Amino acid sequence: MYKSKRFAYTYEDEGKKEEDLLKEILEDAELPDLEEIVIGPWGECWDETEEGLQVIVDGIVENKEKFAHIKSLFFADMDYEDCEVSWIIQADYSKLWEAMPQLEKLVIKGSMDLELGEIVHENLKHLEIICGGLPGYVMESIQKAKLPSLQKLLLYIGVEDYGFDGDITTIQKLLAESDFPKLTYLGLTDSEIQDEIAEAVLNCKYIGTITALDLSMGALTDKGGQMLLDKLPEYPNVKQLELEYHFLSDDMMKKLKALPGVQVNVEDQQRADDYNGEIYYYPMLTE
């Protein structure tokens, strides 16, 4: 675990601005001893007229020598009471990669106005994006990323209404064209096409090397469950299967939990909604 500290202020802190939060971080007496910085809400996180989070990101880049010891960054750690995930105005991280070569972990929440740019980083081990909809151009940045040390990739795919503008071919391309030789944890979660994603992952190049597969928080049904049941025994390297929040039947849950040598999480079983004969499956996080 990293030695961590969270910095934040809310819209109730009248008169406080992003520049004040940056100054607070730079002048914090604990900063030299920290390994992780967590940025919580910054006032009106949804206001496109404000400079917002970009002030913090640019401030870290401009003062990179003061952050040379920081190994982990989490931008926009907040819940719906602060700001709905789909409303969070994100930032451009293009300059962060070069400015923080020692960074090992990056977690980003929200995808509106998110830019990753050209990702080249020798030491990043953990990349996680939490959102209600992941845009195709962001996925393309990840697809083309040069991350030779990446061990954990966790992406919330989300839905079209909140930013996901791709389809299963987008996922297949990401899996086929990315190059993460040290990847051990693959998470493609929170999707309404979770069954199709399960099939894509089971047929991708990473399935023979990862130790953890995360298909949680999405509309996974018995169709996807049966694929996992049929294929995972061929890959004894997979020791952990995360399926929390799903639409699996009781029988399928029981069968998956019986997979030999695999720790399976099937908590939080959901029921599909029926509206006038139409069946709807909803991912966990959208708005």
State residue 141's pLDDT score: 98
Of the options 1.20.1290.10, 3.80.10.10, 3.30.110.40, 3.40.720.10, the CATH number for the domain spanning 1-112? 3.80.10.10
3-state secondary structure the chain: CCCEEEEEEECCCCCCCHHHHHHHHHCCCCHHHCCEEEEEEEECCCCCCCCCHHHHHHHHHHCHHHHCCCCEEEECCCCCCCCCHHHCECCECCCHHHHCCCCCEEEEECCECCECCCCECCCCCEEEEECCECCHHHHHHHHCCECCCCCEEEEEEECHHHCCCCCHHHHHHHHHHCCCCCCCEEEEEEECCHHHHHHHHHCCHHHHCCCEEECCCCCCCHHHHHHHHHHHHHCCCCCEEECCCECCCHHHHHHHHCCCCCEEECCCECCCEEECCEEECCCCCCC
Check pLDDT > 90 for residue 233: yes
Average pLDDT over residues 148-165: 96
More confident residue, 47 or 148: 148
Note the pLDDT tens digit of each residue in 15-59: 788 999 999 999 999 999 999 999 999 988 888 767 899 999 999
Average pLDDT of the chain is 96
CATH architecture of 116-130+144-150+176-287: Alpha-Beta Horseshoe (3.80)
Check pLDDT > 80 for residue 126: yes
User: For the chain, which residues make up each domain, given as ranges?
Assistant: 1-112, 116-130+144-150+176-287
More confident residue, 12 or 107: 107
State residue 48's pLDDT score: 79
Equal fold, 1-112 vs 116-130+144-150+176-287: yes
**In terms of residues, how long is the chain?**
287
pTM: 0.96
State residue 227's pLDDT score: 98
Average pLDDT over residues 187-213: 98
State residue 47's pLDDT score: 84
Note the pLDDT tens digit of each residue in 239-276: 999 999 999 999 999 999 999 999 999 999 999 998 88
**C-alpha–C-alpha distance, residues 99 and 178, integer Å:** 23
